[in-house]
Structure 1
Amino acid sequence: MVAPLQSTTPLPDTIAGLLGLSGTVGQIVGGLIGAFIIANLLLVQTAVAGPWAKRKITAAFTDRIAVNRVGPFGLVVIVADAVRLLSKELVIPEGVDRPTYDLGPLFVPFSALLGFAVIPMGNGIHLADPETGLVFAFAASSIASLGLVMMGYGSNNKYSLLGGLRAIASNIAYEIPLVVTAASVVVFTGTLQMSEIVAQQTEPLLSIAGVTIPQWFAFVNPFAFVLFVIANLAEVGRNPFDVPEAPTEIVAGYQTEYSSVYFVLIYLGEFIHIFLGGAIAATLFLGGPAGPFLPGFVWFTIKIWAFYLFTQWARSAVPRLRIDQFLDIGWKGMLVLSFANLALTAIIVGVIA
């Protein structure tokens, strides 16, 4: 049995109540503390995912030995990498556009963290629950594309510029199918509010031998789920869709000229975006934090880490596409299939209604 969320009170309101604050002051203080807590939970997971888990998972897929010398199971490599990268000299090439060059890396992690503001992560663990929450999540994640273009243009490097242009091409070609596929879930639920989308997935779909299968939209419409996951891979820049930063063609694309703390920000934003992509997929198709026995936040964490594991498998197992193949799949394949899925969903819901 899948238990529904027990509380819809946003985390800032809960914090303000515990502190005995009310009104505008309570909203501001509760919001700041709540955002600090959520951001740090995500940053800790990202710190584990980037320097350590990525290496361990890739090594397991490719039958190699990953980091195992620095601390137990190599975990202290997280601290070692942080010190190593942050202590490197920040090299600023000549001729860069400084405001654009400096602001670009900030947009990437900021947009991903902003998207988590409307994601229900457990029993009362969400910062806000607006009626247009799904639109907000997609809009926030799209800000990263602006940062990639700024980095590509501001670096005064032809490889970086090509990487920025490819990022825009990727965004246009795959974000439209991503949003259209998500719209099919909205047709089912009749709402854009994230908590309501999760709540509707707690209803039972069917029972087999006494086991109740929840009404997760991945079970209701598996075709839409597959489309969403593929488009999501392109959004987070994982194989076979990592063309904007293809090292075999354009060195490192938009991040070629970045080092030290700027590189850390780009690297950090990349992994938070993977978790945001997994969080949106889990919310729309896998019941969000809903699950049996364990607390909601634990289930939510398991689901976003499962998506992270899938992206790392794709990175190790799937070869990179050429830029023409990359765009053809987006425009001629994903776009057509996503609209077909939306139309079929609308017809089925219309007939049922």
Structure 2
Amino acid sequence: MSTLPVTISELLGYGATPPLWVEVLSALVGAAFVATLLLTLSAIAGPWAKRKITAAFTDRIAVSKVGPFGLFIIVADAVRLLSKERIVPEGVDRPAWDLAPFLLPFSALLGFAVIPMGNGIQLADPEVGIAFVFAVSSLSVLGIVAGGYASSNKYSFLGSMRAVAESIAYEIPLVVTAASVVLLAGSLQVSEIVAAQSETLAVIAGVHIPMWFGFVNPFAFALFVLANLAEVGRNPFDLADAPSELVAGYQTEYSSVYFVLFYLGEFLHIFLGGAIIATLFLGGPAGPWLPGIVWFIAKIWAVFLFTQWCRSAVPRIRVDQLIEVGWKGMLVLSFANLVLTAVIVGVIA
């Protein structure tokens, strides 16, 4: 699969081996395109779609007065939040406190660098692509910990410690479950994982069922979706910023543009989780009739809709229950799935 910088270079007439300046320019243009797309999706999801979806689930009326369908609330919220005074509490550790809000959106955007979003819409395709995604996405925990610790606030500190405990308890099952997909695909390269799902699994009544790994191994798919809920902090696992207990957790002492960055990072990570699910289990950008980028966006929005449904319908569990489910349930099931997948792959091979 051709990467986006190579495609841009070819459009400029330099082919697949351009001069260094063209290569750098193509990479920057490609990165700007992907970042703009993701920031636009997050801008729609946070101020507008989140409210509309939650209102639909809870039988209420959401934003409807600001522009058609309330869409201008996106601009209104941006102006309102960015124009607020940035208050720096006494006693904060300034370098860590200032750096923390930038780590969350940065780690999510960096994770999208190796995700194929359509035919030729992929910034890079390293051989260890899926390992790279998990490595950079986990940097978000550093931002949460830095923000909580540096805020000089006990509620913020408790929220960051909960985030660490939650990440450790659920990221291991997440990675182990992804390893079972790597066994099925025979590669860590993201494009190879997507290509391995391009065959037909079965034909039922003339309908071709694709060999998406979500159909091949629905148990692993369910495990991964559940663990992803914990990683993106959605119910029943939103313990790191539980308002009823921690005011707002790790982001309590943040306002203005810093709060916007935390909020943006949260939704970017939800979309990154959806992108990983789509890539590992739903064939990536594959789909009939429509362009791949359309199918890819539809799949990550489907995951976003599921997370918002959980936020509205599923009650929050206690922190001790969260840890117990992660270590005694998800970890055991993920390793059982890995062993079973290895046995099946070994027998077939």
Q: Under a length normalisation based on structure 1, what TM-score does the superposition of the two structures give?
A: 0.97
Partner amino acid, structure 1, of 2:314: V
Partner amino acid, structure 1, of 2:149: Y
Give the match for residue 13 of structure 1.
6
Give the match for residue 79 of structure 2.
83
Task: State how far apart, in whole Å, the 2-side matches of 1:268 and 1:20 are.
Answer: 37
Task: State how far apart, in whole Å, the 2-side matches of 1:216 and 1:165 are.
Answer: 37
Task: State how far apart, in whole Å, the 2-side matches of 1:164 and 1:67 are.
Answer: 31
Cα offset for 1:26?
1.8
Q: Which runs of 5 or more structure 2 residues have no equivalent in the other structure? A: none
Give the match for residue 30 of structure 2.
34
Cα offset for 1:324?
0.1
* CA deviation string 1:63-109 (max 9, x = no partner): 00000000000000000000000000100000100000000000000
State the superposition RMSD in angstroms: 0.6
Q: Which moved more, 1:13-22 or 1:116-125?
A: 13-22
Identity among equivalent positions (%) equals: 72
Partner amino acid, structure 2, of 1:14: T
Count of residue correspondences: 346
Partner amino acid, structure 2, of 1:13: V
Structural mapping, 1:62-211, within 5 Å:
62-211=58-207
Q: Secondary structure at the match of 2:208?
A: strand
Partner amino acid, structure 2, of 1:48: I
Task: State how far apart, in whole Å, the 2-side matches of 1:88 and 1:16 are.
Answer: 42
Which of these residues, 50, 53, 56, is aligned with residue 57 of structure 1?
Answer: 53
Q: Secondary structure at the match of 2:103?
A: helix
Give the match for residue 294 of structure 1.
290
Cα offset for 1:263?
0.3
Task: State how far apart, in whole Å, the 1-side matches of 2:126 and 2:196 are.
Answer: 17
Task: State how far apart, in whole Å, the 2-side matches of 1:218 and 1:19 are.
Answer: 39
Cα offset for 1:23?
2.5
Give the match for residue 320 of structure 2.
324
Answer yes or no: is the 8 Å Cα contact 1:237–1:243 preserved in 2.
yes
Give the match for residue 337 of structure 2.
341
Cα offset for 1:16?
2.0
Task: State how far apart, in whole Å, the 2-side matches of 1:269 and 1:122 are.
Answer: 23
* CA deviation string 1:161-180 (max 9, x = no partner): 11111111011000000000
Question: Runs of 4+ in structure 1 displaced over 3 angstroms?
Answer: none
Cα offset for 1:20?
3.8
Structural mapping, 1:248-327, within 5 Å:
248-327=244-323
Task: State how far apart, in whole Å, the 2-side matches of 1:23 and 1:145 are.
Answer: 38
Task: State how far apart, in whole Å, the 2-side matches of 1:139 and 1:155 are.
Answer: 26
Answer yes or no: is the 8 Å Cα contact 1:13–1:26 preserved in 2.
no
Task: State how far apart, in whole Å, the 2-side matches of 1:119 and 1:176 are.
Answer: 21
Cα offset for 1:13?
1.3
Partner amino acid, structure 2, of 1:105: P
Task: State how far apart, in whole Å, the 1-side matches of 2:153 and 2:286 are.
Answer: 47
Cα offset for 1:17?
2.4
Give the match for residue 4 of structure 1.
none
Partner amino acid, structure 2, of 1:28: V
Cα offset for 1:126?
0.5
Task: State how far apart, in whole Å, the 1-side matches of 2:92 and 2:179 are.
Answer: 40
Task: State how far apart, in whole Å, the 1-side matches of 2:183 and 2:6 are.
Answer: 31
Q: Which runs of 5 or more structure 1 residues have no equivalent in the other structure? A: 1-7
Task: State how far apart, in whole Å, the 2-side matches of 1:271 and 1:189 are.
Answer: 29
Partner amino acid, structure 2, of 1:226: A
Q: Under a length normalisation based on structure 2, what TM-score does the superposition of the two structures give?
A: 0.98
* CA deviation string 1:289-334 (max 9, x = no partner): 0001110000000000000000000000000010100000000000
Partner amino acid, structure 1, of 2:2: T
Task: State how far apart, in whole Å, the 1-side matches of 2:330 and 2:312 are.
Answer: 23
Give the match for residue 43 of structure 1.
39
